[in-house]
A and B are shown apart, each in its own frame.
Chain A
């Protein structure tokens, strides 16, 4: 189909361009500008050059929150990949029970983050929580799920895994359905057992799917906020202060628009790098 007028495609693109411009490009450029100013929202802004970047570096806030985010992300990626794949392999079969299991696992993905936060606040309470009650029956614990600096980041990661694994499973299922059955049959004829077929045929063919799942869950865990806000408020002692939560604290708790903007700029750079990585992986895997 050819446009009747050269400008026609532009008109069609306009609504999306406007949305992107108003809600993404403009705020981002504005944050870039604000990152060079000191502003508390109420008094006039003051140009401070790179002082905000120096401050987030010198206070250790940038690397601490990036480190926490990375820690949570790595656990989430490894966990959701492994579990998602295992579940997909388990339910990739016809029948009502498998269909029920698929829906049940995926249902966690559609629950709102706020509900998830409240639910796990109850589940992981150190004294009255279900998990510690069950653990006490077998003589373990109590585990300080949310009140220990060394455990809390993993608790948060665990909750994210619970939530996103359903999505990983569905993606793996679609990957599994796309695999040519002839290869499995050929391997079986050659005498390969189920484990051997999984290892040498299925898993290598699922590599692009795994890369997609890994990168999407990495990006999702970089955007983590709601659960942290509800469950730990970044604590105990900043142990769960992920990057987005640090931005929230700087802006809404401390009224430091400049420092929050500097963190936003860094966050944008990190996410852009991840997105670039994602695109590279997929371009490399495009069918020849």
Chain B
């Protein structure tokens, strides 16, 4: 065997061994199954962090298991909880946290080392993500948190001021529309509607717990979408839920839509995939600036063995270290969840070089907390989401659509 062939075969062998090492835990480690729901680039970034953690210490081995999108993962988690087979660690969307907490399946984190003293961004931890979140037992840790932002094909926007009000956005969208291209696109989705309700000066759930769906603000939000579609300036994406988001990303990348609303989580993906310069912009103001936060929070499941929960917590702490949180944010576009991570990105000149990553961070100054309502996920999934689609697609009277939604919300209360 010549030297070259020997080297090649050794390389292949070591590659094979490394491959085994990623899936097989070395003996003596506490193996922590971790159910996650990140796809594409974000998944690869998470797997890098998992590998770093697994190699950085010799006690714990995190086995990351992909479970589909957020809602598929949540369905599996709840089924597993009912079957008594839940993993010790997973992550869930904010809207379902109050409900899960009320059923007692989430592990209180207050007594875990450092849980209350982590330098979390004030808008992103439990205290800032939920109204009254600070007064409740701590049950979540933020990791992949986001806000909606606007992405625009910079080449097309050139010469126009970035739209900073609803009216300005409508005007720009119309100006950018031409045969074969829509000026604007937005998933007809609860998250963006919640942003619009806030911008129109309303709340989805009032401070006293009443489900108002924004009252007049909710109507204004729906009407704004209807008007944009009626003038032909906005594209209604195909599919539902994340299929619609993905569809819109593809339309944007292919030049079929000039400006879209999506999550800051896609900054890196859109920048790298587009063959045109992508500019991120904050969402416009209505009567005020307002955005909801999104993404997911990490949770430990109470049903797991104590040893597993302790081990899972070590992994969570690792993810929230300045190094990991900054790496995650810079590789994906999700927000840096700790102030340390944000400072690190600033100091290293990352934001100066990648201003699109900063947009969501700056926008956190107008982030609104979600209500701590255990019916919130039902209001989202059952009451509001299907009616938004019906109102926008079938041009239904928005006042009537929301009246019906409020009646359904009263029936859905848990």
Task: Encode B223-247 as 1/0 by CB contact (under 8 A) with A.
Answer: 0000000000000101111010000
Contact residues of B between 367 and 387, Cβ < 8 Å to A: 378, 381-382, 386
Contact residues of A between 214 and 257, Cβ < 8 Å to B: 231-238, 252-255
In chain B, what residue has the closest Cβ to A127? B256
A42–B381 contact, CB under 8 A? no
Closest Cβ of chain B to A242, distance in Å, is 15
How many chain-A residues does the 8 Å CB contact rule pick out? 23
A41–B82 contact, CB under 8 A? yes
Closest Cβ of chain B to A251, distance in Å, is 8
Name the segment of B33-41, B281-289, B388-396 touching the other chain: B388-396
In chain B, what residue has the closest Cβ to A145? B238
- Known A127-B256, A146-B238, A236-B389; contact A253-B71, beta-carbon cutoff 8 A: yes
A233–B240 contact, CB under 8 A? yes
Task: Encode B61-78 as 1/0 by CB contact (under 8 A) with A.
Answer: 000000000010001001
A149 vs B75: C-alpha distance in the bound complex, in angstroms? 27
With a 10 A CB-CB cut-off, give which of B71, B251, B393 has the most chain A CB atoms. Answer: B393
How many chain-B residues does the 8 Å CB contact rule pick out? 28
A237 vs B389: C-alpha distance in the bound complex, in angstroms? 6
Closest Cβ of chain A to B372, distance in Å, is 17
The 8 Å CB contact of B393, one of A42, A128, A236, A252, is A236
A183 vs B339: C-alpha distance in the bound complex, in angstroms? 88
The 8 Å CB contact of B238, one of A40, A42, A125, A254, is A125
A237–B81 contact, CB under 8 A? no
A252 vs B78: C-alpha distance in the bound complex, in angstroms? 9
B378–A252 contact, CB under 8 A? no
B378–A233 contact, CB under 8 A? no
In the complex, chain A residues whose CB is within 8 Å of the CB of B394: 149, 237
- Known A149-B393, A149-B394; contact A254-B381, beta-carbon cutoff 8 A: yes
In the complex, chain A residues whose CB is within 8 Å of the CB of B413: none
A232–B381 contact, CB under 8 A? no
In chain A, what residue has the closest Cβ to B103? A42
Closest Cβ of chain A to B365, distance in Å, is 34
In the complex, chain B residues whose CB is within 8 Å of the CB of A128: 250, 254, 256
In the complex, chain B residues whose CB is within 8 Å of the CB of A235: 239-240, 389
B393–A43 contact, CB under 8 A? no
Q: Is B79 an interface residue (CB 8 A)?
A: yes
In the complex, chain B residues whose CB is within 8 Å of the CB of A82: none
Contact residues of A between 74 and 129, Cβ < 8 Å to B: 125-128
Q: Is B274 an interface residue (CB 8 A)?
A: no
In the complex, chain B residues whose CB is within 8 Å of the CB of A252: 75, 79
Q: Is A184 an interface residue (CB 8 A)?
A: no
B393–A237 contact, CB under 8 A? yes
Q: Is B115 an interface residue (CB 8 A)?
A: no
Q: Is A202 an interface residue (CB 8 A)?
A: no
Task: Encode A126-141 as 1/0 by CB contact (under 8 A) with B.
Answer: 1110000000000000
B81–A41 contact, CB under 8 A? yes
In chain B, what residue has the closest Cβ to A128? B254
In the complex, chain B residues whose CB is within 8 Å of the CB of A68: none
Q: Is B366 an interface residue (CB 8 A)?
A: no
The 8 Å CB contact of B78, one of A41, A236, A237, A238, is A41
In the complex, chain B residues whose CB is within 8 Å of the CB of A125: 238
The 8 Å CB contact of B82, one of A42, A231, A233, A253, is A42
B389–A43 contact, CB under 8 A? no
Q: Is B105 an interface residue (CB 8 A)?
A: yes
A238 vs B385: C-alpha distance in the bound complex, in angstroms? 12
Question: Interface majority SS on A: helix, strand, loop or mixed?
Answer: loop
The 8 Å CB contact of A232, one of B100, B236, B240, B251, is B240
The 8 Å CB contact of B239, one of A127, A232, A237, is A232
With a 10 A CB-CB cut-off, give which of B75, B250, B254 has the most chain A CB atoms. Answer: B75
A194 vs B71: C-alpha distance in the bound complex, in angstroms? 58
A254 vs B254: C-alpha distance in the bound complex, in angstroms? 35
A238 vs B251: C-alpha distance in the bound complex, in angstroms? 24
In chain A, what residue has the closest Cβ to B386? A238
Closest Cβ of chain B to A281, distance in Å, is 39
In the complex, chain A residues whose CB is within 8 Å of the CB of B251: 127
Task: Encode A23-44 as 1/0 by CB contact (under 8 A) with B.
Answer: 0000000000000000011110
A232 vs B237: C-alpha distance in the bound complex, in angstroms? 11
In chain A, what residue has the closest Cβ to B389? A237
A146 vs B239: C-alpha distance in the bound complex, in angstroms? 8
A233–B238 contact, CB under 8 A? no
Closest Cβ of chain B to A57, distance in Å, is 14
Closest Cβ of chain B to A121, distance in Å, is 9
A147–B71 contact, CB under 8 A? no
A125 vs B235: C-alpha distance in the bound complex, in angstroms? 14
Contact residues of A between 145 and 163, Cβ < 8 Å to B: 146-147, 149
The 8 Å CB contact of A42, one of B105, B254, B382, is B105
Closest Cβ of chain B to A26, distance in Å, is 15
Closest Cβ of chain A to B301, distance in Å, is 11
A147 vs B243: C-alpha distance in the bound complex, in angstroms? 12
A237 vs B239: C-alpha distance in the bound complex, in angstroms? 10
A254–B103 contact, CB under 8 A? no
B381–A253 contact, CB under 8 A? yes
In the complex, chain B residues whose CB is within 8 Å of the CB of A236: 240, 389, 393
In the complex, chain A residues whose CB is within 8 Å of the CB of B381: 253-254
Contact residues of B between 19 and 66, Cβ < 8 Å to A: none
A41–B240 contact, CB under 8 A? no
In chain B, what residue has the closest Cβ to A42? B103
In chain B, what residue has the closest Cβ to A230? B243
A146 vs B382: C-alpha distance in the bound complex, in angstroms? 22
A29 vs B277: C-alpha distance in the bound complex, in angstroms? 59
Task: Encode B245-259 as 1/0 by CB contact (under 8 A) with A.
Answer: 000001100101000
Closest Cβ of chain B to A62, distance in Å, is 16
A41–B105 contact, CB under 8 A? no
Closest Cβ of chain A to B241, distance in Å, is 6
In the complex, chain B residues whose CB is within 8 Å of the CB of A255: 78
In chain B, what residue has the closest Cβ to A239? B393
In the complex, chain B residues whose CB is within 8 Å of the CB of A238: 386, 390
User: 11 extra interchain contacts, Cβ-Cβ under 8 A, other than A236-B240, A254-B382?
Assistant: A40-B103, A41-B81, A42-B78, A42-B81, A42-B100, A125-B238, A126-B238, A127-B256, A237-B390, A252-B79, A254-B378
List 6 interface pairs A-B (beta carbons < 8 Å), by A numbering: A40-B414, A41-B81, A42-B82, A233-B239, A237-B386, A253-B381
6 interchain residue pairs of minimum CB distance: A252-B75, A41-B82, A233-B240, A42-B103, A147-B238, A237-B390
